[in-house]
Chain A
């Protein structure tokens, strides 16, 4: 920490002083695997195996009864809207060119690896989703063409197109991660030996760090980031419509897709905060994750938490004010009926409790405060995904004009619990494996920061002075 001569702490930054120190410290942690890491990896591996057992049990029951796949669908959406959404934090902060993002950028974009797991989880859901024929869906004209003896339109809609979207998002996330990590992989290449060195030599394609390469690298990150943003919003919206709104007759809600995108932004921030906390406490990166990134992210988390309420309210109020039987049934199904406990928990954990915590600057400007609020948000999102997708999967007659009756609550069985545990274990395991492949801190961004930043005396204190080359 840079302490001014009079002892007042004007600068809370605790980053290493030189690029050499950054390289040394990050590589030391990256190349070493501690006992805690192994224990966590084995534990998560066991959970993943349990999940596979649960999955086999679920598949043995067939794909015809959609209700049974409700919890499976919910956990897919939970991962989609938390871990798989996390790279958007890195993309957005890099676009905004803020400096406090530098320690957390890689921690967030590394979650792109979890997208591979979620893509695998998604495959069975393609068999669960009914054809677009004869029902209200995003895919226009399907019914008419099916009735006319055609194969539906667009061909293989919605299955092929949402699978392509999700695969595109996963590919884009990995491309973004690889591009962002390329200079750091070159650093690991230069400081490793034998097998790892020869593998990285191929993977880094001969990166040397010429000004031309850096320029192309920066432009590529900008373009890929912009594309990721566009793909992220559309994929979340379309999949939420196909597996949520379109499965509930009478749920005519244009706000829900936006709500899903917003809640995924909120959860992406939350999982990034929690990851930062763990990297700080157990990963050996204490000096990199000082209070500034926590403080800065907590402000955006507070904003998204308030927006969560606004989006929920806008959606709820439209149905509540409409007051028709169909609208009341939709509200009963999603909020006040069989899944009321889940709704209350989601409301408390996604909005009320984090809001009450984060309105205090003393809480925001700390390490623990934002982390606790973020953990609450992650729990809230879990309950919210269960509330929405278990409920929407439980509707039997999806081709009805409106929801005539509210189905009873579908409780999880043993297979569901195993699947949920397995998916969560898999999420953490994939991330842990990712940290072994790619440094969890963006060394080149930190080093760039150190070249641009100077600590200078200002009256009786010291301040940071930043060069702004662009």
Chain B
């Protein structure tokens, strides 16, 4: 079934938090509500369920890649120039430490930057239903609903104290 989005704008967080209850009573599922704010709020402040992110995985993978490349590079060059120095083994750990450290961190950094973009679900080609006043302090509730239910959702948002309601053009 075709879906449609409705945005309710609220002047304050308290009203917006209360509106989610009204929407639930009107039959809207929690997963169909997205809260838009200009500042971070404590998790669950609007009763929302936040999916787990995997951002910490990215620097880990990057660090492992960087570490591996650095080890291959340092070990490879030592083996390529097998000069015995002071009777020490060809593969010596101390000279590899700096390059390995540097490689590990560089890998972690690059993957973290990629992780930020990926995990924030960015870039978005179209910003979607939005209002610039959200960055001024208004709270936006975007409700995704069946195309034939948007009027009921709009009424529920208004009933809950929405200052303004916008919807996607059909």
Chain A residues at the B interface, C-beta cutoff of 8 Å:
18-20, 22-24, 138-141, 144-145, 148, 150-151, 153-155, 161, 164-165, 168, 171-172, 175, 179, 183, 186-187, 190-191, 201, 205-220, 223-224, 227, 230-231, 234, 238, 443-445, 447-448, 450-452, 467, 469-470
Q: Contact: B113 with A216, CB < 8 Å?
A: no
CB-based contact B124/A205 at 8 Å? yes
Is residue B61 within 8 Å, beta carbon to beta carbon, of the partner chain? no
Asked whether, in the complex, the Cβ of A172 is within 8 Å of the Cβ of B120, the reply is no
Find chain A residues with CB under 8 A from B85 CB.
141, 144-145
16 CB contacts below 8 A, A to B, read A18-B137, A19-B39, A19-B136, A23-B136, A23-B137, A168-B102, A168-B105, A183-B39, A190-B135, A205-B120, A206-B123, A211-B37, A216-B53, A216-B116, A219-B56, A234-B101
Which chain A residues border B170 with CB–CB below 8 Å? Answer: none
Q: Which of B78, B112, B137 contacts A223 (CB 8 A)?
A: B112
Interface centre among A138, A172, A450, A470 (most CB of B within 10 A): A172
Contacts of B53 in A (CB 8 A): 212, 215-216, 219
Is the CB–CB distance between A231 and B105 below 8 Å? Answer: yes
B102–A220 touching, CB < 8 Å: no
Contacts of B42 in A (CB 8 A): 452, 467, 469-470
B102 contacts A210, CB within 8 Å? no
Name the one of A154, A187, A443, A451 contacting B77, with C-beta atoms under 8 angstroms: A154
Tally B residues with Cβ within 8 Å of A.
60
On whether the beta carbons of B135 and A220 are closer than 8 Å, the reply is: no
Q: Chain B contacts of A138 at CB under 8 A?
A: 98
Q: Does A206 contact B81, Cβ atoms closer than 8 Å?
A: no
Residues of B within 8 A of A186 (CB): 135
Contact of A164 among B37, B106, B127, B133 (CB under 8 A): B106
Instruction: List, in ascending order, chain B residues with CB within 8 A of A212's CB.
Output: 50-51, 53, 120-121
Complex partner residue of A215 from B46, B50, B133, CB under 8 angstroms: B50
Q: Are B116 and A179 in contact (CB under 8 A)?
A: yes
Q: Give Cα distance in the complex from A72 to B93, angstroms.
A: 35
Contact B137 A153 (CB under 8 A): no
Interface SS of A by simple majority: helix
The 8 tightest CB contacts between A and B, nearest first, are A206-B124, A19-B137, A469-B42, A190-B132, A205-B123, A447-B39, A187-B135, A205-B122
Decide yes or no whether B8 CB sits under 8 A from chain A: no
> Across the two chains, which residue of chain A brings its CB closest to B106?
A168
Q: Which residues of B contact A223 (CB under 8 A)?
A: 55-56, 58-59, 112, 115
* B130 CB contacts on chain A under 8 angstroms: 208
Chain B residues whose C-beta falls within 8 Å of the C-beta of A217 in the assembled complex: 40, 116, 120
Contact B78 A172 (CB under 8 A): no
Given B83, B105, B119, B135, which contacts A144 in the complex, CB threshold below 8 Å? Answer: B83
B108 at the interface (CB under 8 A from A): yes
Chain B residues 89-123 with CB under 8 Å of chain A are 92, 94-95, 98-99, 101-102, 105-106, 108-109, 112-113, 115-117, 119-123
Q: A215-B43, A223-B56, A223-B112 are in contact. Are A210 and B35 (CB under 8 A)?
A: yes
Asked if B40 and A448 sit within 8 Å, CB to CB, the answer is yes
Closest to B52 in A: A215
- Complex: how many Å from CA A205 to CA B127? 9
Enumerate chain B residues within 8 angstroms of A164, measured Cβ to Cβ.
102, 106
Q: A23-B136, A206-B124 are in contact. Are A211 and B43 (CB under 8 A)?
A: yes
Q: For chain B residues 56-83, which have a beta carbon within 8 Å of chain A?
A: 56, 58-59, 73-74, 77-78, 81, 83
Q: How far is the CB of B38 from chain A (nearest CB, A)?
A: 6
15 additional A-B pairs beyond A183-B38, A206-B123, A211-B37, beta carbons within 8 Å, are A19-B38, A141-B95, A144-B85, A151-B81, A161-B99, A179-B116, A205-B122, A209-B38, A211-B41, A211-B48, A212-B50, A215-B53, A216-B55, A220-B55, A448-B40
Name the residue on B nearest A231 (C-beta): B105
Question: B83–A148 contact, CB under 8 A?
Answer: yes
Residue on A nearest B86 in the bound complex, by CB: A144
Q: State whether A451 touches B113 (Cβ < 8 A).
A: no
Interface residues of B in 18-61 (CB under 8 A from A): 34-43, 46, 48, 50-51, 53, 55-56, 58-59
For residue B119, give the distance in angstroms from its CB to the closest CB of chain A. Answer: 4
